[in-house]
Amino acid sequence: MSPESSNARLTTKSRPTPHTLGTAGEEAAARYLKKKKYRVVVHNFRFHRGEIDLIAYDRKTLVFFEVKTRRGMRFGLPEESVTPAKQQQIRKIAEAYLMTHNMRDVPCRFDILSVSFDERIGLDIRHFENAF
């Protein structure tokens, strides 16, 4: 996995809650993708107890994105929290999306958008294509 970096800013004066931070990370990730000419088609696709954060087209390839946002390095890099179990869950949800939308023959891949928040520099986005 080789990342591609970008910077964005979280505009809040107080320390964000985990939910606020996660939402800000997903919004920044969607803006990042649009700048990179991806066509975002779904935010937060839910199936049973799981969710795929973003689904977008990269030309003709449908890409399922897991967005991980962290405030610091205390618990490691954001992308490190996408465990094999989480990857399997995302695959199953993606399969459900493809089946419910009758898209069985569409080329697809799984990417990770790693978003790190530092109060001094804002958000740093790293994109891992074909992450799993």
Q: What is the pLDDT of residue 8?
A: 45
- Terminal alpha carbon distance of the chain: 9
- Total domain count for the chain? 1
35: domain CATH number is: 3.40.1350.10
Summarize pLDDT for 6-61 with one digit per residue, the tens.
444 444 455 667 778 889 899 999 999 999 999 999 999 999 989 999 999 999 99
Q: For residue 29, count CB atoms less than 10 angstroms from its CB and return exposed for 0-12, middle for 13-18, buried for 19 or more.
A: buried
What is the model's pTM? Answer: 0.85
Q: Which residue bears the tokens 């989480």?
A: 86
Tell me the residue range of the domain where 86 lies: 5-128
Predicted confidence at residue 5, as pLDDT, reads: 47
